[in-house]
Structure formats: C-alpha cells, structure tokens
Amino acid sequence: MAMFAPLTPEEWQVLGLSLRVSLLAVAVSLPLALFTAYALARWSFRGKSFVNGLVHLPLVLPPVVTGFLLLMVFGPQTALGGLLEAVGLGVAFRWTGAALAAGVMAFPLMVRAMRLSLEGVDPKLEQAAATLGASRGVVFMTVTLPMVLPGILAGAILGFAKALGEFGATITFVSNIPGETRTLPLAIYSFLQIPGGEGAAFRLVILAVVVSMGALLISEWVAARAARRVAGQ
C-alpha cells in the first residue's frame, strides 16, 4: 500500500525542515525562557501578574491570532520588518519565521516547566551559599542551575514537541511554501487537500508520532539521570 511506501525525497525534506525549525525555536527561546522563569519565581516587582499573563497569552489565544500579530510586527510592510529585510534578516515567509512562530508558541510551556522547577528549590540553600561569599551569579551556576536542570530539560523537550506540531501561527505568519516553510503539520494538511494524498499524510503522521515519542523518551531518560546526579546517587 502507498501509505507504507518509503519516504519520498519531498517527505524527507519536510522532516529535515521541521527538525531544523524546532531545534532553532528551542535554542533561541531557552535562555529567555529561563530568565523569565527565574524572574517570575524569584523576583517581586510591580506588574508581575501582567507579565505572567502576557507570557502565557499564546496558550489561550487562537494560534492564528498569534500568527497575525507576528505578521503585523515582522511583516515586510512594517517598519521593523522592512528594517530586517534591508539588513538581510527578514523572517516573514521564511523558515526562520517558522522558527520564530514555533518559538513564541512553545515559550509559555518552557517557562512554566522551568518556573515550577525553580519554585521547588529551597531558597535557604541559595542563601547559605551567598553567606559564604558567593556572588548571585556563582550561586545560580553552582547551586540553582544543577538543581533545576531536570526542569530545564523538561521545558526544552516540551518546547520542541510544541514547535514540531505548530500549525496555526506558522501558516498565518510564513504561509505554506514547499521547501521553505512547509513543516510536518503543514505538509500533512497539504497532502490531505489533494486526491490520493492520504498515504503520504499517513506516513508523515507516523513520522511525527515517532519523532515526538522519541524526544519524550530521551527527555525522561536525561531528566532521570540529571535528578539522580543532583541527589548524589
């Protein structure tokens, strides 16, 4: 049957682009997500509730709305988008824009996982290190970071899985361009729109399930090792 045939070069291209988009989305979002999670978990400041709501807004907004807002900010007809285009860094209708859309949608999940991990660290441990003369940066790198590493890994994997499956914001912001922005979800949608495309769509669905499950299993293994290391076992 056609649905069990080997992947075509086009389908391999879709997989490669999806992995590239998802990995870039996580790599760029991770430092900012960690900083945001730390600020929400440790700092008290005016407007904290508003910032928290803003961070989690992509979770409750329709993805199409998020994509439209990205287009209004980074589109080639806007001031910022035009400036980025002029210096060769335009993102609208490019694979880097797909990574941006995926990163925005994955960001709240990454922040939430890291924030929960940070809130589970006893502040007294950090205070004890500080009383011994360690600076705030040294305390974070030597005490806090190792203890929240499982949460960081969990957030990164959740972000990767979300980025891999992102559809609405991506198709709105960067369209569905073969070889440029057509990721796995967009390719599945495209194959379902043509007669006889169910076989190719089914193969990509299976591929998405395998990649996502593999990422989750790897994350569980790495997180378990990190947790044992933190516990000194």
CATH code: domain of residue 225:
1.10.3720.10
Asked whether residue 92 is assigned to any structural domain, the reply reads yes
Asked whether residue 124 is assigned to any structural domain, the reply reads yes
Asked whether residue 21 is assigned to any structural domain, the reply reads yes
- Measured CA to CA in angstroms, residue 12 lies from 19, 138, 164, 218 at distances of 11, 44, 15, 22
User: Whole domain around residue 20: which residue ranges?
Assistant: 8-230
Asked whether residue 136 is assigned to any structural domain, the reply reads yes
Going residue by residue through the chain (233 aa), what tens digit of pLDDT does each one get? 455 567 788 888 999 999 999 999 999 999 999 999 999 998 888 989 999 999 999 999 999 999 999 999 998 889 888 888 888 888 988 999 999 999 999 999 999 989 988 888 877 877 787 777 777 778 888 888 888 888 888 889 889 989 999 999 999 999 999 989 999 999 999 999 988 888 888 888 988 888 888 877 877 777 677 666 656 54
Q: Give the pLDDT score at 73.
A: 93
Contact 185, 167 (CB under 8 A): yes
- What total number of domains does the chain contain? 1
Contact 98, 170 (CB under 8 A): yes
Contact 30, 151 (CB under 8 A): no
Asked whether residue 130 is assigned to any structural domain, the reply reads yes
Q: Give the pLDDT score at 137.
A: 77
Asked whether residue 189 is assigned to any structural domain, the reply reads yes
Asked whether residue 1 is assigned to any structural domain, the reply reads no
Asked whether residue 50 is assigned to any structural domain, the reply reads yes
